[in-house]
Structure 1
Amino acid sequence: MNEYSFTIHICLTGRVIRFAACTRTGLRKPQSRLRAWISEDSLMDAPAANPMTTAASDRASDILDKVKSVFALNGFEGTSMQDLAQATQMSVGNFYRYFPSKDAIVTALVKRDLEEIEALFDAVRSAEDPGAMFMTLLRHELETLPFEKAALWSEVQAASYRCPEITALMRTMDETVRSNVVVALVRIHGDDSPEAREIFETRAQLLMALVHGFAQRKYCACETADPAKTAAFAELVLSTLHDTIFASPSKPAK
């Protein structure tokens, strides 16, 4: 005759329900009994996981704001987690509680920008004059684009080549912007025909290339750029954006 016992701990809504089972097995007729009870001190055994609080979420957003300049200054590869923790005046261990890796930080930055992009295009779609609103947002983006932001997104683009998760997010962002531009053009021209949408799809690609290219040029020429020439370049880009947005979608007669 042999005897054994075991205990199972199940965490449920912050309490541990302990099931203790003792089984005595004989040669002919097995007998078993099961006892279960809830321990009042179970919270000490297995505390329930708490969702991120509003304060923690705000803290994470504050961290993202502070680390952007570090990435822009040192580059993605040239920045260590210790550099990032120092920029936020946190210990490295505490910093890891919010972001376990640089890839996690970049992922959070891309996701946050996606939310901001959606909000901007919501403003365009709901505006009384969507064309004027679209041009106002584009002008603000080009005229106030800081070097830090241009540098950051160049680094994010580079990071996407080696990290599949960032690659997927960047593709999602690209698709989000493209589809929103098409919807904005439909709203501006009041034409949702398949023919017009085909033209708007092509124009969306051009608009995105112009804005991305402007940001890339600003990043590459940051130390040698003449402010007057940069402003003139921005006006040329804005003029091209304006013509692309407001040109009639009607195809020329063959």
Structure 2
Amino acid sequence: MKKNIKRMPRIYINDEIKVNKEISITDEKKHYLFSVMRIKIKDKINIFNNTNYVFTAKIINLKKKKVIVRIINKKKKDNESFLKINLGQSISRNKSMSWIIQKSSELGVHSITPLICKNSYLKYNKNSIIKKIKKWKKISISASEQCERNLITKILYPKKLKNWINSLNSGKKIIFTPNKISNKIKTLKKNFNIINILIGSEKGFSKKEIKLCLKNKFIHMNLGNRILRTETACLTAISILQYKYGDLNIFN
């Protein structure tokens, strides 16, 4: 019987990294390495820093409040999709939003802009928004650590729908709703590498918001005959787009 191959621990560090540099790892990442992964002196870990490089480091010291590693090599590893997906997501309930951030990051979404729409579940309160952004960024980083993606999905500051629409200056634009008379993804022609997709909250978009999108040259699309939850709709749309136009080539 073959022995299970132990997976090398992998963490994100927001810092410049160079070969032979010594780095001190503290707080949650130290707890993860020491208490969860049970690392020892001379063990190796992988580190990434949002640059498409993976750095191998060796544990050289274990202290009470920190783990010290030395970078021993680096290797370029580009796991990014050649389709750049920018997600505009109407802010949903806490659990749904966290799920969307996590799974969208795993599926290779380039950026996520939480949107304040008529039916969003977060009003424009600065303190509340700052707290949410911190949480969402942490979720995105954790997702990249887990799925071996070396770039972090950008979690942008929440915008009102109209402001987000006005900020788009390139790429295809799609709004997804359950409307049965709208278009199907299969009708899209492959003449883009940037796509901006818009997903509503549990309560969907208002007629006025849909009209605003169509006025700004969004393509109106649906995801079939069933009405999907917001998190299901979001991940279904991303998965189909990555399969048809991106790097989710599981049948090739």
The higher relative CO (CA closer than 8 Å, separation ≥ 6) is in 2
Q: Return the structure number with greater helix share.
A: 1
TM-score where L is the length of structure 1: 0.23
- How high is the TM-score relative to the length of structure 2? 0.23
Structure with bigger gyration radius: 1
More strand by share: 2
